[in-house]
Amino acid sequence: MEAIEKIRVTAIGRKHSDDVKKSMSVNRRQENNPFFGKKHSKDSIALIKAAALNRQNLPKPGFEVEITDLETKITTSFNSIRKAAVAINSDIKTILRREKLQIEKGINTPYRKRYIITIKRN
């Protein structure tokens, strides 16, 4: 067990080069993959699902986002950027880029000349 622990400790932080990653990927394709041509049994699938449902590492909560519709004067609060983006038919990256520009320039211009977006980070 000591030898295994020493190997583990020395491997921490090690990064494989892109060439090594590509080589490992090629060497484990199709018939070289030990699971090639096989399928999980129904019992195995049930065990995997049960383990997934009992996971304790819950995802991080999203950032609160407030969107004010200038046409209806309604402010809606969302508990994630993803949900806010879906609500206004936009993209997450677009909202994040706008936030970055707002911070750099110090102004908050309406998105699509209609929505004022405010991301509340703690």
Residue 121 has a pLDDT of: 83
Question: Between the CA of residue 3 and those of 13, 16, 19, 34, 93, what are the distances in Å?
Answer: 18, 22, 28, 27, 46
pTM over 0.75: no
Triad 20, 23, 24: Cα angle to 5°: 85
First to last CA, the chain: 44
| Residues 21-74: tens digit of each pLDDT | 999 898 889 888 888 999 999 999 999 999 988 888 767 778 899 999 999 999
What average pLDDT does the chain have?
Answer: 90
Q: Which pLDDT value is given to residue 44? A: 95
